[in-house]
Amino acid sequence: MTRFSSAAKNGLTPAALEALLREVGAARYHNRHPLHHKMVSGALSRVQLQAWALNRYCYQAIIPRKDAMILARAEDPGFRAEWRKRIEDHDGTNGWDGGIARWVKLATGLGLDEAMVKSERLALPATRFAVGAYLSFCTERSLLEAVASSLTELFSPVIIGERVPAMLAKYDYVTEDILAYFKPRPVQASRDAEFALAYVLKYADSPRKQQAVIDALVFKCDLLWSMLDALEHAYGEDGHIPPGAFDPGAA
């Protein structure tokens, strides 16, 4: 945070701001997290993958709600029409034929019960707090900051490009069908990130706003990182599963 705080003092050109945003991602996006490295190296157990899918469901489930909050705060119909595509991608036409449904398929494909996953009842409290913080952020901060917090999508095609082939190669029970969620994501994420980046570069037109969008991206990277930290602490080698959370070893 310190590192990125001082850089924007004198106001940046759009190109310099974009470079700084990409630098935040290079330093802090969760493709650098040890749990991601374990995942793509094939080192995770089935239970660890289940815990990941189960907790990540809570994140997937909040996305259309945070996007609806952004929609609710946007005055420009053109902006809303563009941003609405995100909600459509995740909710589909009937709520259960879009990205959220495909994430459920991933979770059940790994052997989890659908109703349990959807209830979010056994997710880690830390996951719930992180996901809640995302919705609060998009509710309470400026529209510009809410948009900027979505810019982790700039980096998601890379992590998906690492994750999908590695999971198919390293875990014999993982199939293309189970990973169907990821298939349309790189195209969708690139389209969305391009739009959000252009918006941020246009409207972050003062040092204060530039600092705010950098901080928003740092916040979002921290959030994704904290979700993997919580998973690793709970389900790592000498795991410390908190009371009440998913525990396949329990009675």
CB of 218 to its own copies, least distance (A): 7
Beta carbon of residue 80, minimum distance to its own copies (angstroms, whole number): 25
Q: What is the CA radius of gyration of the chain?
A: 18
| Interface with its own copies (CB under 8 A) | 1-2, 27-28, 34, 121, 124-126, 128-130, 132-133, 136, 218-219, 221-223, 225-226, 229-230, 232-234, 240, 242-244
CB of 114 to its own copies, least distance (A): 18
Of 8, 5, 130, 14, whose CA–CA distance to 61 is shortest?
Answer: 130
Residue 109 · residue 36 · CB < 8 Å: no
Pick 165 or 244: Cβ nearer its own copies: 244
Q: Kindly state the smallest distance separating residue 145's Cβ from its own copies, in Å.
A: 15
Q: How far is the CB of 165 from its own copies (least distance, A)?
A: 26
Residue (199 or 225) nearer to its own copies, CB: 225
Which candidate, 134, 149, 147, places its Cα nearest to that of 70?
A: 147
| 32/85 with CB nearer its own copies | 32
Whichever of 128 and 170 has its CB closer to its own copies, that residue is 128
Nearer to its own copies, 126 or 178 (CB): 126
